Every structure is written in C-alpha cells, then in structure tokens.
Amino acid sequence: MALGSAIMVVISRNPVHSVLWLIVTFFAISGHYILMNAQFIGIVNLIVYAGAIMVLFLFVIMLMNLNAETEPQKNKWLKLAGVVAGGCLLLVLVAALKQAEVKGKVALLGTGDIGLIKNLGKALFTDYVVPFEISSVLFLSAMVGAVVIGKK
Amino acid sequence: MNAIVISAVLGVVMMFCGVFTNSKTAVRNVAIIGLLGLIIANVLDLGGYHFFDVNVKGMLAFDVFGLLFNTIAFASTWIYFLLSGRDMERVGVNLAEYFALIFFVLCGISIVSAFNSLLMLFLGIEIISIPLYILTGSDKRNLKSNEAALKYFLMGSFSTGIMLMGITLIYGVKGSFDMEVIRTGTTQLTPMIAAGLLLLLFAMSFKVSAVPFHFWTPDAYDGAPTVFTSFMATIVKVAGFIAFIRLFEGCFGEIKAQWQMLAAIITAATLLIGNITAVFQQSVKRMLSYSSIAQAGFMLFALVAMNDMAKEGMIFYAAAYSLATIGIFAILLKMKDYTFEGFNGLAKRQPVLAATNTIFLLSLAGIPATAGFWAKFYMLSAAVNNGNVLWLVIVGVLCAAISVYYYFRVIQAMYFKDGEPQEIETSKGFNGLLIAIAAVVILLGIFPHWLLDQLSNIFFL
C-alpha cells in the first residue's frame, strides 16, 4: 500500500491529488513503524507529516495555482536519462536489500518496548545527549536564517 | 570541544550584539575579537587545555589533525573578517546576523573535523550547509542571488537526503553509527555496504563540488554576494574535504582498493572539467568558481592517496588555497566590473592591489616560490607514493598547466592593457593586510618545510 500510493504520488497529473496520495503514503509508513514496535515514531509521523506538513503543502500548491497548461515541457532525452539513472539506482538498492532480507529478524518483535517514549527519552538524554544538544545549534541557525530572509 | 562550544556561543553573542547596538563598526569589532578568542581557545585545546569536560560517548574524537585544521580554518576566517568585514555592510542591514551565521558555520566545521560517528557527521554537514543557503540568498533584492540560493538549497537538501540514505544502509549492515565499529570487520564489499559507500561518496562529492556533482557550484558562487562567495569557496570547501577524508579513512580505510579507482576517476573528471571550463569564462568571479572546482580536484588527490603525506599536504593545501583565494576575492570586491576587462590597467592605478593579486594568482596556478606550488607538489607526490594512480598524476600536471592560462589572463589584463578606472578606493590598512598575506604566501612558498616540519613533529610525537 505504501509503494502503491507512493507511485500514485509521482504519476498523478493533478498536484492536489499527489498531495492526497502522499498522505496515504504517510499513513502506510506509520503503520509500518507501529508494526515494528516504534509506536512513538509512528504517531509523531502521523501528527507532524500527515497533519501539519501536508496542510502546508496543500496551501502552497493552491496558492501557486498550478494546472496542466503551466506545466513546463520536458526534453525527451532528459526523460530517458532520468529513467536510466533511476533504474541503475533501483538495481543497486534492490541488490543491496535482497541480501539483507536473508538475515531475517528485523527488530525485537513481540518482546520489545523499545519504541516507547520512555526508552526513547532515556536513550536521547544519555547516549545521544551530545548530538541532541548540538542539533540545537542547527535549529538556531535555521531560525536566524528564516528571520534574516523573511525580514524586510 | 573548546571550538564547538565557543563558536556556538559566539554566534549567539553576535545576535545579541545586533540587538543592543546599531553601530556596524562595533559589531565588526566584536566579531573580530571573538574570533581571535576562538583561535586562542582552539590552540589551547591543541596544547592540552580543555575548558569543557564533556562525556561525548565516543561521538567525537579530537585528534591533532582535526584541531590543526580548525586552527587554519579559524585563522583564515579571521583574515577574511579583517579584509572583507566592511564589504559585508554593503550586502544588507543584518550585519550581526551574517556574522552569527558565519560563527555557526565555524561550529559545524569544528564538528566535521572531529566526528567519530556518522550521526555527528550529518549534524556537522547540516550546520555548515543551512547558514550557507541563507548567506547565498542574503542579497534579497538581487534576483540572481535568490535564484542561486534556491538552487543551492534544493540541490543541497537532495544530496543530504542521499547522504542519509547511505548512512542508513551502513547502519543496516553494522547496527551502529560508530566509525570504529563500521571499520572493523569491513574487509570486503557486500552489496549493501557498497550501496551505502556509493551514496556517501556521491553526497560528499556534491558537498565539495566534485564533477559530476558540480552543477550547482558556478551558479551558487556566481549568484551569491561576492563577500560570501569568498567564504564558501575557501574555508567551507576545505572543511568538506576534511570531512570527506575523515569519513573514508575512518569507515572504509580497509577496503580502499575497491573504491580507489572510483575516487580517481572523479578526481580526473573534476580536474579536466573544472580547468577546461574555466578557460572559457568571461567573468572573473565565474572563472574563480570554476577554478575552485579545479582546485577541488587537486584536493581530491588526498582522498585517492590517503597516506600520511596526503594528510599533511591537505593541511598545507588548505592554508595555501584559502589565503590566496580570500585575497583575490577581497580585491575582486573592490572592482565594479567583474569581467576580465574590469581589471585592465589596474597596475598603473593601484600597484599594490595588482602586485598582491598577481602573487595570489601565481600561488593558485602553482608557480614555484609560492605556497601553491608546494601544496600541489605535496599532493602529487603523495599520489606518486601511493603508486597505483600514476596516470592521475599526469592528468594533474597537465591540468595545472591549463590553469596557468586563465590565471595569467587576469595578470595580463592588469599589467599590459589600459582601461578606465573601475575600482573603489581602498584604505591603507587594507593594502597593508594584503601585503602581509602575500608575504605569508611567499614565505610558505620559500620555506614550506617550516610548516610541514611543525606538522610532522606533532604527528609523530
């Protein structure tokens, strides 16, 4: 279902349909997370991506008022080159993932409470506290940037 | 750790500076003094004085190589502030914020020179990139600057996505972000490691603008305000190389034989395309951005050779290249016309500018008795020592010869042609500083062993 709706995102002619299919994709991915015992990430994915970011997407697309006439014509050779390059990447990734599946046992199925927010918080503030703190610099610089760009 | 914490704090200080004072001189002086403090703190770190005792859980490892590189990057930035700080005022009103963003970039640089975990690599690269997108687009009324920023942002975030995918695949194989864990036991290429390695190679090549991932470079460098192009093309680019080398030595050092050929091909392509395209440029600024691609090709030699000599050479190259390019951009900023014609007859009106510019250009071209010659020499001899890539060395020498042509076009325009005055008046201090940098470039060119001996002393103690 995730794959199917992801393909629909790409091939839909109408951008609004694309966004709607993207929402379906996010729901499917959240389902995967929950199946893999990562409940917290699953829910956050729903709230942040399927909820907030998609609304922004829709607004932007509606404001831009896209339709078929304004769509730029693409070069035939460019399309062909894209297909070849994408196909190569697909081939490499499929080869890589085929080997991984042999190992089976993806995560702690059944036993795990690993995805619960309590354990996540513990890991975040003990083992991963340095990257956590440093990412604050990243967000700070992004905020400064937004203000610099947005201010008159 | 000193550098990371202090540079982040200085970024915040700069923002407050912008709130409390309107005087541009005050803001600039605070930045210059703050950066000087940062350099001192970093050198103290090198000498064993650690101000902050943080348990980094093996995520960061501060070795001499990284700290030394930090020192060079900070010192180049300091010179850059002194030379071009005034020109930043012409870009826009948010002077303090520009300085703050540059300090955040420096924080990112000190992370990528010390990361020991792929997670930190990602954070460091992002902390470097995001302020750069903003600096590229800081000239808001200029359409070209906007276009450059958007292009850079879209392509940059795409390449970050590729890098994340690579990290994920590696994590999938090894179950850890730690470079030690990834290196041990990686003796042959399984498909999954190969895919991860390739994606990481592509993403990092994008960040250092190696061919065929260089398409953003001329547009972004040309569109960005020239002051910030100077910073992007020198310090940030060299930092990308440090991350690149650290990553590939740390994670995939054992399987070097498998990817060395690929890296060599990228290097050769970068050298050829960068140099040959630079020949056809009409604008000096655009020529310099292609020349920065070409110089990236030479720095990639360090990645291909990957021995001690290459690492020492990389530090030397970082210093030589950054100094010369910052100098050239500072002079370019004084020009009104960025084409080659704009430089016509500069030698008659501004002998100091013309003479120092000549020295910097000669250094970039790698003419003997300048720092650039020895930098190229060490890179090439590191590759020769490596033994497997002699053909690449020949390509490198040929490309160095091509590069002489387009650097000499500027020199020719300055000395042998007459033209209308096109430049902004320069102060005495600016001229003095240019002479000092040129002197350093020549001193490093005549006594390269001084810096390299210091380096080897530290390395082999």
End-to-end CA distance of chain B: 22
Predicted confidence at residue B458, as pLDDT, reads: 65
Predicted confidence at residue B87, as pLDDT, reads: 84
DSSP state of A71: S
A72 burial level (CB within 10 Å; 0-12, 13-18, 19+): exposed
Contact B334, B247 (CB under 8 A): no
Q: How far is A141 from chain B (nearest CA, A)?
A: 6
Which residues of chain A have a pLDDT value below 50?
104
Average pLDDT over residues B60-79: 88
B364: which residues sit within 8 A by CB, 6+ positions away? B291, B295, B321, B324, B325, B328, B372, B403, B407
The verdict on a CB contact (< 8 Å) between A141 and B104 is: yes
Who among B57, B101, B194 is closest to A145 (CB)?
B101
The verdict on a CB contact (< 8 Å) between B195 and A92 is: yes
Predicted confidence at residue B132, as pLDDT, reads: 93
Half-sphere exposure of residue B91, counting CA atoms within 13 Å on the CB side? Answer: 29
Contact B238, B321 (CB under 8 A): yes
The residue of A130, A132, A147, A152 whose CB has the most chain B CBs within 10 angstroms, and thus the best one to mutate to test that interface, is A130
Contact B179, B116 (CB under 8 A): yes
Is the pLDDT reported for residue B305 higher than 70? Answer: yes
Residue, of B387 and B406, whose pLDDT is higher: B406
**Residue of chain A nearest B165, judged by CA positions:** A93
The residue extents of the domains of chain A are 2-115, 116-152
What's the mean per-residue pLDDT of chain B?
87
**Residue of chain B nearest A93, judged by CA positions:** B195
CA distances in angstroms from B412 to B285, B336, B369, B407, B409, listed in the order given: 17, 19, 20, 9, 5
Omega within 30 of 0 (cis) for the link into B212? yes
The verdict on a CB contact (< 8 Å) between B134 and A93 is: no
- Does B341 contact chain A (CB < 8 Å)? no
The verdict on a CB contact (< 8 Å) between A140 and B134 is: no
Q: Quote the pTM value.
A: 0.90
Chain B residues 122-151 with CB within 8 Å of chain A: 123, 126-127, 130-131, 133-134, 137-138, 140
pLDDT digits (tens, 9 = 90+) for B203-222: 999 999 888 888 899 989 98
Of the candidate ranges B148-152, B315-319, B358-362, B424-428, the one whose mean pLDDT is the lowest: B424-428
Q: Which residues pair with A111 in a beta bridge?
A: none
Chain B positions in Cβ-Cβ contact with residue A145 (cut-off 8 Å) = 101, 130-131, 133-134
CA distances in angstroms from A15 to A20, A60, B298, listed in the order given: 9, 11, 45
Determine which helix (DSSP H) or strand (DSSP E) holds B26, and give its type and residue range.
helix B24-46
The residue of B6, B109, B119 whose CB has the most chain A CBs within 10 angstroms, and thus the best one to mutate to test that interface, is B119
The verdict on a CB contact (< 8 Å) between B111 and A134 is: yes
3-state secondary structure B66-93: HHHHHHHHHHHHHHHHHHHHHHHCCCCC
Q: Which residues pair with B423 in a beta bridge?
A: B335
The C-alpha atoms of residue B202 and residue B73 are separated, in whole angstroms, by 24
Q: Tell me the Cα Rg of chain A.
A: 20
The C-alpha atoms of residue B51 and residue B45 are separated, in whole angstroms, by 8
The C-alpha atoms of residue B175 and residue A106 are separated, in whole angstroms, by 11
Place of tokens 């002619």: A13
Determine which helix (DSSP H) or strand (DSSP E) holds B331, and give its type and residue range.
helix B308-333
Which is nearest to A15 in space by CA: A63, A87, A82? Answer: A63
The C-alpha atoms of residue B211 and residue B299 are separated, in whole angstroms, by 13
Q: How far is B236 from chain A (nearest CA, A)?
A: 16
Chain A: residues touching B (Cβ < 8 Å): 92-93, 95-100, 127-131, 134-135, 137-138, 140-142, 144-145, 147-149, 151
pLDDT digits (tens, 9 = 90+) for B222-239: 889 889 999 999 999 999
Chain B residues 27-56 with CB within 8 Å of chain A: 54, 56
Average pLDDT over residues B159-177: 89
The residue of A133, A148, A152 whose CB has the most chain B CBs within 10 angstroms, and thus the best one to mutate to test that interface, is A148
Who among B98, B108, B192 is closest to A96 (CB)?
B192
Average pLDDT over residues B411-433: 81
Q: How far is A139 from chain B (nearest CA, A)?
A: 9
Predicted confidence at residue B130, as pLDDT, reads: 93
Predicted confidence at residue B176, as pLDDT, reads: 83
The C-alpha atoms of residue B187 and residue B232 are separated, in whole angstroms, by 36
pLDDT digits (tens, 9 = 90+) for B402-420: 999 989 988 888 888 887 7
Q: How far is A149 from chain B (nearest CA, A)?
A: 7
CATH class of the structural domain A2-115? mainly alpha
Residue, of A51 and B187, whose pLDDT is higher: A51
Predicted confidence at residue A71, as pLDDT, reads: 59
Chain A positions in Cβ-Cβ contact with residue B146 (cut-off 8 Å) = none
The verdict on a CB contact (< 8 Å) between A100 and B192 is: yes
Give the pLDDT band (50/70/90) at residue B128.
Answer: very high
**Residue of chain A nearest B14, judged by CA positions:** A144
Give the pLDDT band (50/70/90) at residue B50.
Answer: confident
pLDDT digits (tens, 9 = 90+) for B325-363: 999 998 888 887 788 887 888 888 888 888 999 999 999
